[in-house]
Amino acid sequence: MHVARQATISRTQEERSEEAKARLRAAALDLFAADGYEQTSLAAISLRAGYSRTLAQYHYPEKSAIALELIGDRLRRDNHVELLDCPDDADGEAAWKALNNHLGEVSRYYGALHGTGDHGTVVRGEMAIHAAALMGTDPALTAQIAASTRDLIARVERLFEICRRDGTIRPDTDAHGMAVLHVHSVWGLALALFANPKGERAVEAAFRQIRVLLDGLRSQD
């Protein structure tokens, strides 16, 4: 009986802890989206979440700890591993479809950057963290973005290589170069839209041009 009661108490404490962390992450995204990463303090995050700073620091010793968790969540979604996952023996058409599906998904995701509602807030908050990471002010954030960028480039390069090997795209295609261009074009356009909300049409047009560039790689055979 005593063991069962202790287990119930532990589960309840764990649930409370997870709830507090979720509220802190949500509050952080709201503030990052509204005020930017650098201008947001842990004290402001704890106040928005309805907790004391002491409790916030118990779960997240500093603001960057929340940011690391949030950017990790975003990168897992943004990388869309499930869309880029093709077996080694996949044919070129399957790899080509995966590349195009990935481009379509990320363009839709960032297309909602300045939309209303919770989704728009989440995307803006995440992009504020990404922008701060690229500025190099937080080494841990910068390192995580760099590692995820390398991973995404490697996954995209593998698909380009399958397409090249199978004759789906031209044999002179530089798979690594195209992967670098693909990934940095997508993230660069997302950052451009984040910095300039009025640039939505131009960014949409640029995403279409990425697809035109991909289509230009197709083999004529």
Q: How many domains does the chain have?
A: 1
pLDDT at 25: 93
Which residues, in sequence order, are CB contacts of 43 under 8 Å at separation 6+?
53
For residue 34, is it within any domain?
no
How far apart are the C-alpha atoms of 153 and 75, rounded to whole Å?
A: 13
Work out the angle between the directed axes of helices 175-195 and 139-165 (0-180°, nearest 10): 130
Q: Do 197 and 114 meet the contact criterion of CB atoms below 8 Å apart? A: yes
CATH of the domain at 171: 1.10.357
| Domain span at 195 | 67-215
- pLDDT per residue as tens, the chain (221 positions): 455 555 454 558 788 888 999 999 999 999 998 998 989 999 999 999 999 989 899 999 999 899 988 887 777 666 666 778 888 888 999 999 999 988 888 888 777 777 777 777 888 888 888 888 888 778 888 888 888 888 889 999 999 999 999 999 999 999 999 999 998 988 888 888 888 888 888 888 888 899 999 999 998 76
For residue 192, is it within any domain?
yes
pLDDT at 3: 52
